[in-house]
A and B are shown apart, each in its own frame.
Chain A
């Protein structure tokens, strides 16, 4: 499964490796995330996977924010992690909400807690989770230097 998936997505793969336990990680360019989802639907079929969650990690030493899309390929009993790196100063990635409406919760959460801007998602707003006294100061709590 992993081999054939990497092969069919090879034009987008920057790097691929495994996350414990046996989750396939494919690194892609942030600007290509939407294309990868379209390709994935073509290769596997739209009804064989769903987006489980979106996770963001702050990496201040590398001046990057890492963003992971966890995709449950439930018809293949497998998991795929799409990974992209964004510049920490300007973390912008195209939203996939029109392709996958289930991305809503993940995109809103990652925006509010980490400050990633999902371009094209009109529902983004602060104080999704973060209380207003913190969000009004422009603080993103999951950034390592947020002081929260």
Chain B
């Protein structure tokens, strides 16, 4: 018998870094792929390039200053961040804003959903290889930004929410301008929807990419269009009926198949719903003064705690605010939808092709500055892959 003298170690996989520069959106995120040939067998999601310590910052500033700080957690969905935090404060103070303010808040948030979904659909198109479609979608998105500017005074950072109401009212001229824009853009959305449904390349690239089963979406706490694309009927607007969502009619859109295409279709469905909600709000806006007198708001908050949720374009966004009695919060906890959707979703890349990774990441609508977070390995498979080389081709999902 010959004794072995050498131990030869063959690397099982090739490690390919995707990012941190521009893996899908122009935001920093590193996906460390472990690939066997063209097939991904494990993904480490590495974030933390953007952590700004906003929760700590919120503890050091007053309740009212924090409204402006949380609005800057995320550029694209600043109105929902501010809305969720402001409502957490209103729960603490037992303040109920007037109906007109509630309608206007929903209007700002639905305009935000419109432009956010159009952005990620444009990015999906770009990742699938259609730069022209990206440009078209971005051009029409710009009209929605304009509508948001007409309403709030700013096309991106709205700073529209106030405790007890909103910062600006709207008149008949503005109403008709916003209505006109939304009607025009809705027609364009119908056309883009048709392109996504009928174009062979987009279908080939998006279908079956990153399929997530319903049970997995729930177990891994995925939220928003990602969960709804897998058939989970969860929508904070329907569960919590905050602001005016108990009066404005809308449907929760779900798709069953759970792939990147299903997630895109959920977003298209929600574009129509949001456009309808905007039209409903502009034609059913209650009378009254939506702008509260800031001087009459209490400086000090009573002791207590509250937990507000909002359906951001990317999914359920939550704010926990605790007050120990004073002018500063004792603790503010922000959980953004991208934290769950990106950090917990490493399993969705397994057994997919390398070229599909950006498509799958894009379909999760990542917002990195929103989640600013981590090192993750695939949980279902464990860290180490002690399998013989000959089995590599047969890695089952």
* Chain A residues within an 8 Å CB radius of B55: 113, 142
Asked if A70 CB lies within 8 Å of chain B CBs, one says yes
* Chain B residues within an 8 Å CB radius of A122: 383
* Chain A residues within an 8 Å CB radius of B300: none
Cβ–Cβ contact A20 & B91, under 8 A: yes
Contact of B375 among A101, A128, A141 (CB under 8 A): A128
- The interface of chain A, by Cβ under 8 A from chain B, is 19-21, 23, 46-47, 49-53, 55, 57, 68, 70, 72, 74, 77-79, 81, 97, 100-106, 108-109, 113, 122-123, 125, 127-131, 141-142, 148
B262-294 residues at the A interface, CB under 8 angstroms: none
With an 8 Å Cβ cutoff, the count of chain B residues facing the other chain is 48
B351-379 residues at the A interface, CB under 8 angstroms: 372-377, 379
Could you name 18 residue pairs across A and B whose Cβ atoms are closer than 8 Å?
Answer: A19-B305, A20-B92, A20-B307, A49-B218, A50-B223, A52-B309, A52-B335, A57-B330, A68-B320, A70-B307, A102-B222, A105-B373, A109-B339, A128-B48, A128-B374, A128-B375, A129-B373, A142-B56
Whole-angstrom distance between the alpha carbons of A20 and B323 in the complex?
Answer: 12
Chain B contact residues, majority secondary structure: mixed
Among A23, A50, A128, A131, max chain B CB count under 10 A is at A50
Cβ–Cβ contact A97 & B333, under 8 A: no
CB distance from A73 to the nearest CB of B (A): 9
Cβ–Cβ contact B48 & A57, under 8 A: no
Cβ–Cβ contact A131 & B335, under 8 A: no
Chain A contact residues, majority secondary structure: mixed
* Chain A residues within an 8 Å CB radius of B129: none
Q: Produce 1/0 per residue, B211-222, CB < 8 A to A.
A: 000110011111
Q: A70-B307, A105-B340 are in contact. Are A55 and B379 (CB under 8 A)?
A: no
Contact of B316 among A47, A52, A105, A131 (CB under 8 A): A52
Whole-angstrom distance between the alpha carbons of A23 and B309 in the complex?
Answer: 11
Whole-angstrom distance between the alpha carbons of A125 and B377 in the complex?
Answer: 12
Whole-angstrom distance between the alpha carbons of A75 and B199 in the complex?
Answer: 36
CB distance from B386 to the nearest CB of A (A): 16
The residue of chain A having its C-beta at the shortest distance from the C-beta of B60 within the complex is: A148
Asked if B322 CB lies within 8 Å of chain A CBs, one says yes
The residue of chain A having its C-beta at the shortest distance from the C-beta of B50 within the complex is: A129
Among B343, B372, B380, max chain A CB count under 10 A is at B343
Given contacts A20-B91, A47-B214, 14 further A-B contacts (CB under 8 A): A19-B306, A21-B91, A21-B306, A52-B221, A52-B340, A57-B322, A57-B331, A70-B307, A79-B309, A101-B220, A105-B340, A105-B373, A128-B375, A129-B48
